[in-house]
Structure 1
Amino acid sequence: MQNSYYLGRQPILNRQQELVAYELLFRSSSQRNEAIVPDDFLATLDVIQHAFSTVGTSSVLGDKLGFINVSADLLMSDVLELLPPQQVVLEILETVDITPAIIERCLALKKKGFKLALDDIIHLDDTQKALLPHLNFAKLEVIDMDSSQMSALIRDLRHFPLQILAEKVDNPEQHQLCMKLGFDLFQGYYFAKPTILSGSKPQPSQMALLRLLGLINGNADNHAIELSFKHAPDLTINLLKLVNSVGSGTPKKIDSLAAAITVLGRRQLGRWIHLLAYVQQSGKNISSNPLVQTAAIRGKFMELLALKKRPRDQSFADQAFMVGMFSLIDALFNAPLQELIEPLNLNDDVRDALIGKTNALGELLNQALQTEDSNLQMNEQLPCDFDALLSAMSWANELA
């Protein structure tokens, strides 16, 4: 499986040469600034995944618009409705046959807030003219057109309330001509070649689990959590396996996600998700991965210490468990701790303890770390509760 992603991004400028948008482009390598696209549908799905999930809208687009090529199949699919409509321009490829069904779909997408563009216009036929009243942008591929062709097209397009974009402007002479003819927007090598954004793909389960942890910590309702699980069937299967293997206090096997959520309750469900994050990311079970095992023991140990310190404060104990579990998340996911905990809706006390600030939870974490020190028994001044540690180890072994 390929572990890297590549995403092309080319600037689109206005007449003042100010950046107003990017076209997002499929790329299969960082070495060659071009794309061999065997399937337009799959190529755009690749762009969507990397721009809006792997990297993220704010990093790729900032506050600018993003032009995305769409084939007929993709235009008619529900995938588009997962995108942020206020920032997306759907660029209808020149290969799309403009049928009444396509026009009806474009109207529906515009009502949802999407902007529309028609790509690579070199002439206008009757079907294209039927779509023009609904477009926000018309893109003319100027590299192989003379001034008379461009003038004629611009004259026809000016009857409609849209912006006209000169595409493939590759030299200053073309830019000056397009300015003179009245184009609104410009794109091409004269301004910038596409920049290739690349990096390592996080595994799908990693991102799904982080979203789930954010929902749990943000007190989202059960329905939202269930929907999130449904987008990650492998996680659903693993959760049900864990719940059924450890035992839920009921003789009946749990065979649905809704039942698991109901039977476990939110607090216990949160714990299974914490553990599942480690198990899923490592690809190993608790007993065969020392990092996973340490996280499980540390979380439970800190919970037991918290209950001894504040016997009637279950909330404090739950927070202690969370700090213990998350204290190794940077090692597991191989990413900065601050970056990983950012979307998790952690309260201030938990976050502060994780980033090393001194508070009650931080003190418990330090105690847990000292207990794990192999030289602990040589230092009689360090606090320790071996009964709690043995209980935590037993609990982790049961999970394995």
Structure 2
Amino acid sequence: MDFSVVRQPIFNRQQNKVAYQISFMNKTQFSDKCIPMSVFSDRSDPRKLNDLLVDAGINQYSDNKVLIITFEKNTFKNIIDYFFSSRGLVIELSKKETLDTELLDLVQKASRNNYFLIMDDRVLYNGYENYLKSISHVKISVKNKKRSLVESLINKAKRFNLRIILDDISSHEEFKQYSLCKVDFFKGDVFSKQNLVEVRTNTLNEGILLNVFQHVMTDNYCYKELTSIFESDIKLTHKLISFLNTSLYGRQGTIGSIKQAVCFMGENNMRKFISLLTAQELTQTRTTDIYTKAVSRARFCELVAMNTGKNKTFIDRAFLVGLFSNLPDILGLDIQEALDLLKVNDEIKKALLGQECELKKYLESVIAFEQADWQLLYSVTEGHNISPDLVGRLYNQMIREVRNNSYLH
């Protein structure tokens, strides 16, 4: 099936990832993130909605979690009679649809067919109560809304026994405030940010890892000096040798010495390994989501660079730009302070500071795709050797590799 998809996580009150929102790329209407009608071209009996989605490959984005897929009215109308197993799938109706009698009839029919449906917070305003009787979830955006209004909408949703998804949560304070309202689910960038108080308890500066990181960030760094640094930290040495002796790295035989390990890794792979180890150390006080997002973006940037004919140095830097593009969220520091601490390459620094350079375009294209901002994606890639369709295919590859821990090969 020829379409590009990005997933965005949904969290519960315990900040556990429980679902993914799936957004589809529409090349003619960028704001449309609905599933395309072409997915349902096979109407063979028995018509099972879940089976069609599996055949289209959409299940690969689930990681055994619930998928939320947005439908526009006409597509939904065409599949309303399909057999629908609610396990693992919730349908959201596009917020662009007019709340008219035709849509209400469709929603009521879906309810009779036991479809789990999400609608946006327009249905919580006066006059749309009939919708509330037929849907299972409501998504409330907190963006540009006063807290009193959001709480009023939450209370109304609760009166109709609806499960609530709060969207556009942007800060830990906002999350804590609305958690007190006993909301079911949350969506927003806040879950990729680390609390400053947690960062301050981190032991990165107390160990040797920061010195190693700063050393390998230097072009053509000294192998002998790096070996000496490793020799002063048994724990770090153990991590390096253990890593190389696992099947993950895809080699036979064993590595038995620091010098052998440093030489075997090579400059670029050592830089990648230490960067990942540093990111892992920085995020150790939080759930794995921060680290996973950083690694995913790093590999995504690297794949785009690899598939657009870039040399090894550029590919290496693309990986690092992706990995540390979340530095303010990871460290709780201003980006300039974070970069000064880690002493990264000047080209990487320029890209992360938003200064014009080729690396910046690669990072922007990846972030635009992650955010399902199709208009920005096409704008950023125009005039560059980056195809939006290629970015979509590489996103799928990145998902598979991160899931299988094969992105370091």
Q: TM-score range by the shorter chain?
A: 0.3 to 0.5
Point out the structure with max Rg over C-alpha.
Answer: 1
State the TM-score, normalized to the length of structure 2.
Answer: 0.43
